[in-house]
Amino acid sequence: MTRKARTPTQDAPARRSTPPSAVSGPAPGPAGPGIARLEVRNLATIAQLSLDLGGGFCAFTGETGAGKSIIVDALGLLLGSRASSDLIRSGEDDLLVTGFWEGEQSASRRLSAQGRGNARLDGEVVSLRELQEWSQGRLTIHWQHSAVSLLSAANQRGLLDRRLDTRPYAAAYGRWRAASARLDELRASMRERARQIDLLTFQVQEIREVAPQSGEEEPLATDLARLANLDTVAQSAAAGLELLSDGEMNGLGMIAEALRALNAGAKYDPLTAQLQDELRAAQEGIRAVVGELRERAENSAPDPEELARVETRLAALGKLRAKYGPTLEDVVAFGDTAAAELETLEQDERDAGTLEDEVGTLLAEVRREGAHLDDARRKAAGPLAEELLAVIRELGMPHARMAFTLSPLEQPAAHGLSDVILLFGANPGEALGPLSDVASGGELSRVMLAISTVLGADTPSVVFDEVDAGIGGSAALAVAAQLARLARSRQVLVVTHLAQIAARADHHYKVEKSVEGGRTVSRVRLLTEDERLEEIARMLGGHTSEAALRHARELRGTASAG
């Protein structure tokens, strides 16, 4: 049954497209609807959770061990991340996570203690892959370990290509690969194709030489029977002539006698006269038959050549039926099919002769488009590196340096003629090196944050799980400002331990853990303004003294002014 997102309560955070915490400077364009509500049942220490989520910048805080990252785990399940039955709350049979998006769209994931599970979109059961494809267009999660995705050459190249049109190269490469694959196929099948051409040529020629016609066998068989028995035909005709006209006693003579005998009676009896007329008509009919019989008797001598011709034709047709039949219609159909196959194979032969030149021409086109793409990447590399560095230096790495370099490939690849390598250096005096070799986990997280704010996240909702690890002071304020900037056009959910970031959020949620009935339970609730001040004070110094509260108010005031 499809579940609908409930109307937010009075305590639910208001949603707005441009929160007041936005900082100056350009921000990515609108991305689409964010998550309106998250419902969780039996996930780790969460027994039951119904959480309305606000737009803009949402911060999740709580004491160490309270289970802040469970929210991220729940959203990860909706993204199709690998699930283990260990996530199910102890003693329960299954867990269920459901997300409701603005526009009453929903996604859910259920997992049983036996390891089985299912996924749903708008209440309809779908495959896990379908859930992934749907959710990945709406939600991005940056876990503490997910910044390592920056280490792949494909993702580093993708940073540049976001601002470029790579379609001309992709189209040229696709044409070249298709032609190359076709040429490889033709070359690989050359021997088999030659064998097939020889066989089909023989078969087509054999059938064409006979040129069979559907339905011709029956008349030929009749002719053969007649030609083989012409002696019998002549003899039977002669015997008939003997009885009708040629013998001493014959039919025509007897009819003539009968006509004469009827003359006397016909003078006086009309009926006899009528019968005499009918007998004369019969006489004429017999004379006509006699003429036909005489022609048959005199001209039915056997014709060996005609007999041989018919026998040869029938034998040829029978041979074709035996090989390509069983019927003559089957033979004709086989001949048509074989001729078509032969034409295709002969065309392949002709193609193989010209395709080599075409592949060479297409490869030259790939190299031209690849050179244009490399030039475009080089032109985009410097400005993008500077934009990223401007943010990275604010995030606690004032001496950071960055550059994109192109490494030529031996052969064209689907992405171009070169690999893109992101070089990085965090400390002065150090040579730039590949990001994968020189950046720490914390540095990777800040580079990822810079990328998200400069290039924009690809989805309407973006989640950061403790992206602030290992930073503080002015760098923490800078991270908060960058997250607020991103939240101008995206729903940004941040699990954080830094008061500076929590103070900048539009909506502040607290994750709390308690023991109820001898069992640990985690709850999440939206804080009021006074509760926010107390939580920020706790995050600043571990207590809520007047000095800590005053500091918290200062942070909130600065955040609102920002």
Structure tokens at 349: 């032969």
Q: Please name the residues in contact with 261: beta carbons below 8 A apart, sequence gap of 6 or more.
A: none
Alpha helix positions (H), 162-303: 167-188, 190-210, 217-227, 230-241, 251-261, 263-266, 270-299
Percent of the chain having pLDDT more than 70?
89
> Sheet holding 433-434: strands in order across?
401-413, 416-425, 433-434
Buried b (16+ CB within 10 A) or exposed e, 543-561: ebeeebbebbeebbeebee
Helix (H, G, I), strand (E, B) or coil at 18: coil
Residue 192 has pLDDT above 90, yes or no: no
How far apart (Å, rounded) are the C-alpha atoms in residues 335 and 322?
Answer: 14
Query: CA 544 → CA 64, 365, 377, 417, distances in Å?
Result: 17, 69, 52, 60
- Distance in angstroms (rounded) separating the CA atoms of residues 168 and 356: 22
Residue among 515, 508, 521 nearest 62 (CA) = 508
pLDDT at 19 over 70: no
> Residue 284: phi, psi to the nearest 5?
-65, -40
Amino acid at 473: G
pLDDT at 14: 41
Strands 401-413 and 139-142: unpaired
DSSP string for residues in 495-543: E---HHHHHH-SEEEEEEEEEETTEEEEEEEEPPHHHHHHHHHHHHHSS
Nearest to 156 by CA among 517, 461, 451: 451
397 pLDDT band, cuts 50/70/90, is confident
| Burial of 449 per CB tally in 10 Å (0-12, 13-18, 19+) | buried
- Residue 403, H or E segment: strand 401-413
Average pLDDT, the chain: 84
pLDDT tens-digit profile of 501-510? 999 999 999 9
Q: Is the pLDDT of residue 25 over 80?
A: no
- Pairing, β 94-101 against β 117-121: unpaired
Of 260-274, 285-299, 532-546, least confident by mean pLDDT is 285-299
What's the average model confidence in pLDDT over 259-277?
Answer: 89
Question: How far separated are the first and last CA of the chain, in Å rounded?
Answer: 45
Predicted TM-score (pTM) of this structure: 0.60
* pLDDT tens readout for residues 27-77: 455 457 899 999 999 999 999 999 999 999 999 999 887 778 888 999 999
Mean pLDDT for the stretch of residues 213-240: 77
Question: What digits encode the pLDDT tens for the residues 428-441?
Answer: 888 899 988 888 77
- What number is the average pLDDT over the span 205-216? 87
pLDDT, one tens digit per residue, over 326-340 is: 988 988 899 899 999
Structure tokens at 210: 């006979």
Q: What is the pLDDT of residue 298?
A: 72
